[in-house]
C-alpha cells in the first residue's frame, strides 16, 4: 500500500469517527434546547406571598422591569437555544461547542448568584432545574468538544507519522 493510500484510509476512518461522536452527542442537544427554552417561562425565584415583590418568568421580568441583567439573560438564552439547535443537527464545530458551553455556564452562574439582588430570593424548582441543566449542558458540550479535539490531534499525529514513513522509504 502506498503512503497516500494509507493516509487516505486514515482520513476516512477519522471522518467516520468524527461523525459518530457528533451524532452521539447530538441526541442530547435537542432536549437541552427545548428544556432551556421552556424553563424561561417559569419563575426562577420563589415569591413570598407576604411581600409586595412577586417574581415572574424571565420574559415577564424583562418586559416588566427592563433590568439589564434580564435583557442580557434573554439574549443569552436565545443564543444558547439557537446554538443547541445547530448542535442537534450536527452543524456546530469545536469553537461553537465551546462558545455554547461558556454561554450555558454564564447563565447557570447568573441564576445561581442572582446578581442585582442585595438579598437574593430563594430559587424556585424551575430555577434549581435550570441551574442543574446549565451545569449538565456545560459538561456535555465540553465533553463533545474534548472528544473532537482529541480526535483531531490523533489525526495530526497519524498524518505526521504517515508522512515520515513516506519520506523514510524514499
Q: What is the pLDDT of residue 20?
A: 93
What is the pLDDT confidence band of residue 163, given thresholds at 50, 70 and 90? low
Determine, yes or no, domain membership for 104: yes
Determine, yes or no, domain membership for 5: no
Q: What is the pTM of this model?
A: 0.85
Determine, yes or no, domain membership for 12: no
- Positive or negative torsion for Cα 14, 16, 20, 23: positive
In tens, the pLDDT along 35-53 reads: 999 999 999 999 888 888 8
As a whole-number percent, the residues of the chain with pLDDT over 90 amount to 58
SS3 at position 119: coil
- What number is the average pLDDT over the span 93-99? 96
Determine, yes or no, domain membership for 11: no
Determine, yes or no, domain membership for 62: yes
Q: What's the rounded Cα separation, in Å, for the pair 13 and 27?
A: 22
Q: What's the rounded Cα separation, in Å, for the pair 117 and 111?
A: 11
Number of domains in the chain: 1
Q: What is the pLDDT of residue 154?
A: 81
Q: What is the pLDDT of residue 147?
A: 95
Amino acid at each position: 500500500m502506498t503512503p497516500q493510500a494509507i493516509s487516505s484510509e486514515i482520513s476516512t476512518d477519522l471522518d467516520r469517527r468524527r461523525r459518530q461522536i457528533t451524532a452521539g452527542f447530538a441526541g442530547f442537544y435537542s432536549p437541552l434546547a427545548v428544556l432551556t427554552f421552556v424553563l424561561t417561562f417559569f419563575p426562577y425565584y420563589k415569591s413570598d406571598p407576604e411581600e409586595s415583590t412577586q417574581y415572574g418568568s424571565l420574559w415577564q421580568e424583562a418586559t416588566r422591569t427592563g433590568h439589564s441583567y434580564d435583557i442580557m439573560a434573554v439574549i443569552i438564552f436565545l443564543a444558547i437555544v439557537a446554538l443547541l439547535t445547530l448542535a442537534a443537527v450536527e452543524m456546530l464545530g469545536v469553537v461553537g461547542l465551546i462558545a455554547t458551553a461558556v454561554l450555558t455556564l454564564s447563565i447557570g452562574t447568573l441564576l445561581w448568584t442572582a446578581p442585582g439582588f442585595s438579598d437574593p430570593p430563594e430559587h424556585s424548582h424551575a430555577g434549581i432545574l435550570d441551574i442543574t441543566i446549565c451545569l449538565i449542558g456545560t459538561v456535555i458540550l465540553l465533553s463533545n468538544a474534548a472528544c473532537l479535539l482529541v480526535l483531531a490531534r490523533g489525526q495530526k499525529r497519524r498524518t505526521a507519522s504517515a508522512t515520515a514513513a513516506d519520506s523514510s522509504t524514499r
